[in-house]
Amino acid sequence: MTQYRISEAAELVGVSDDTVRRWVSEGLLSVTKDASGRQVVPGAELAARAQAIATTSGDRSHVRRSARNRFVGLVTRVEIDGLMAQVELQCGPHRVVSLMSSEAASELRLEVGSRGVAIVKATMVVVETEQENP
């Protein structure tokens, strides 16, 4: 069973260590001790909590879409140059960069500090994990 220390769990979900400890005290996550005596939370519970947070922090529109990869965040950079624009969003611990037409960026009224949702639909997504010690 995969387990994460409090600090690792916080980093993975994009919250503070104190938030994870609060979730533990509120019974939203369980905690045990690892072989070194450090508190750890089960990976499966952390994944379920991350999904619950994502469901409540999504956009509030009533639009149906086929894309499932949605990243809610803040616009941190908008660079318009001629016909194209580069827009960066900080979505929790993730930086998402989008290239779009300058017309689209203007129509969306994107500016640093505004809320945005990056929606990604791809036919190929690479998933990697850390190599376990043999």
Q: What is the mean pLDDT of the chain?
A: 86
Three-class SS of residue 80? strand
Residues in the chain, total: 134
- Whole-number pLDDT of residue 65: 67
DSSP bridge pairs for 96: 89
Cα three-residue angle 60-78-117, rounded to 5 degrees: 20
- Whole-number pLDDT of residue 108: 94
- Write the pLDDT tens digit of every residue in 3-16: 999 998 888 888 88
Decide if pLDDT at 57 tops 90: no
* Domains along the sequence of the chain with CATH: 3-56 (1.10.1660.10), 69-120 (2.40.50.100)
